[in-house]
Amino acid sequence: MKFAIVVFPGSNCDHDTYYVAKEVLGQDAELIWHKDTSLGGADAVILPGGFAHGDYLRTGAIARFSPIMQEVAKFAADGGPVLGICNGFQVLLEAGLLPGAMLRNRRLQFRCEFLNVRVEQTDTPFTRACRPGQTIKIPIAHGDGNYYAEPDVIERLERNRQVVFRYVSPSGDVAPESNPNGSVNHIAGLCNEARNVVGLMPHPERACELAVGSADGLVVFQSILKWGRESLLEGNLTTMTSGAQTVLNR
Amino acid sequence: MQARVFVTLKPSVFDPQGTTVAEALHTLGYNAVRDVRQGKYFELEIDAANADEARRLAADAAHKLLSNPVIESYRIEVTP
């Protein structure tokens, strides 16, 4: 499989994400500059975390107009898997590829810590290796993660099972004190109606090896490989390195 | 031609910054301040034939970039 990781001026998790795709997963990966106009034949696209364009105006507001975003939108419309992590999630919201918007964290703090996230849906390319309701310990690092959408939009998201990740207690229960930013319905991540575009505030790429405190985030990337293997069997994907099976068996 | 664009959070959207500023003002003794809503202010210098044209351009810019219609609304004032 080939991963495209988009680099905006101000991205700072691009190399972490590249490292996971290339070294941990053993897959082909390429960093794509935001002014490029091709995704280089990638099978999956990741918009990484950071502070694209300094978060000027609003988080993701300038980045959505980068030339590469037209390609990302086309790729998504064709059903390609797109993952936005943290700032990448904010870019997807501003670009209209996911519904809603981000507000400043309720207590205005920049929150940087490990916390617990429950996987609510396993039928997306980024969660299909998860158990339903699985709780994973991965870090957040953001000041604008207070997800907001109008009540009718939230109602539709819940009805369509588009809430993919939710902040929970260590035992996996929804509780106000487990919500770090005040997001509506404790939403940590969601998908589009077609379920191929996913955005989340926590950073799975920062928790893929035990040496960094948790390897719980790896399941998100294993999910992409699982999606890739299924696509390969269906004939929608042509290449997959042999290391993928080893990673899936971990 | 100058267009001044005021972007504010919609009334239904919670404003953590405005609330914090209000609390600080209360601490300073400004108890008459009932509420604060924080927003953004832009001055656009525009080459336009008339005020209507400048207003249309500013509205387009406000809708596409200066505001996020999901959470914000805007108001425009034009002066020659």
Specify the pLDDT at position A250: 61
**8 Å CB contact between B47 and B1:** yes
Specify the pLDDT at position A232: 79
Q: Is residue B57 part of a domain?
A: no
Specify the pLDDT at position A234: 78
Catalytic residues of A: 86, 203, 205
DSSP string, A209-250: BGGGTB-TTHHHHHHHHHHHHHHHHTTS-----THHHHHHT-
Closest by CA to A115, choosing from A208, A34, A57, A202, is A202
Closest by CA to A24, choosing from A198, A211, A196, is A211
Q: Is residue B79 part of a domain?
A: yes
Q: Is residue B26 part of a domain?
A: yes
Q: Is residue B60 part of a domain?
A: no
φ, ψ dihedrals at A203, nearest 5°: -110, 90
**Domain count for chain A:** 1
Nearest chain B residue to A61 by CA distance is: B65
Enclosing domain of residue A95: 2-248
Q: What share of chain A in percent tops pLDDT 90?
A: 90
Residue A240 has pLDDT above 70, yes or no: no
Specify the pLDDT at position A244: 63
Tokens of A24: 């941990």
Tokens of A121: 């849906």
CA distance A102 to chain B (A): 9
Q: Is residue B54 part of a domain?
A: no
The model's confidence at residue A231, banded by pLDDT at 50, 70 and 90, is confident
Specify the pLDDT at position A91: 98
Give, rounded to a whole angstrom, the gap between the first and last alpha carbons of chain A: 18
Residue A184 has pLDDT above 60, yes or no: yes
Q: What is the mean pLDDT of residues B52-64?
A: 97
User: Whole-prediction pTM value?
Assistant: 0.92
Residue type, A134: Q
The mean of the pLDDT values for chain A is 94
Q: What is the mean pLDDT of residues A27-43?
A: 96
Do the Cβ atoms of A106 and B14 come within 8 Å? yes
Nearest chain A residue to B71 by CA distance is: A101
Closest by CA to B16, choosing from A103, A148, A56, A177, is A103
Q: What is the mean pLDDT of residues A48-66?
A: 95
Disruptive mutation site among B44, B65, B66, B67 for chain A (greatest number of A CBs within 10 Å): B65
Residue A224 has pLDDT above 70, yes or no: yes
Do the Cβ atoms of B68 and A104 come within 8 Å? no
Between chain A and chain B, how many beta carbons pairs sit less than 8 Å apart? Answer: 39
Output the domain CATH number for residue A11: 3.40.50.880
Output the domain CATH number for residue B15: 3.30.1280.10
Q: Is residue B56 part of a domain?
A: no
**8 Å CB contact between A76 and A82:** yes
Min mean pLDDT across A20-24, A29-33, A232-236, B31-35 is at A232-236
Cβ of residue A61 closer than 8 Å to a chain B Cβ = yes
Residue B50 exposed, middle or buried by CB count within 10 Å (0-12, 13-18, 19+): exposed
Residue A178 has pLDDT above 70, yes or no: yes
Specify the pLDDT at position A65: 95
Q: What share of chain A in percent tops pLDDT 70?
A: 94
Q: Which residues of B touch A104 (CB under 8 A)?
A: 16-17
Q: Is residue B53 part of a domain?
A: no
Specify the pLDDT at position A207: 97
Q: Which of A94, A101, A106 sits opposite B16 (nearest CB)?
A: A106
Specify the pLDDT at position A195: 97
B6-32 burial, b at 16+ Cβ within 10 Å, e below that, comes to bbbbeeebebbebbebbeeeeeeeeee
Q: Which of A101, A146, A182 sits opposite B68 (nearest CB)?
A: A101
Residue type, A190: L
Nearest chain A residue to B10 by CA distance is: A150
**Domain count for chain B:** 1
Nearest chain B residue to A144 by CA distance is: B16
Convert the pLDDT of each residue in A89-118 to its tens digit.
999 999 999 999 999 999 889 999 999 999
Enclosing domain of residue B6: 1-45+73-80
**Distance of CA B56 to CAs A83, B48, B51, Å?**
36, 10, 9
Residue A36 exposed, middle or buried by CB count within 10 Å (0-12, 13-18, 19+): middle
Do the Cβ atoms of A108 and B20 come within 8 Å? yes
Residue B32 has pLDDT above 70, yes or no: yes
Q: Which residues of A touch B13 (CB under 8 A)?
A: 103, 148
Q: What is the mean pLDDT of residues A170-197?
A: 96
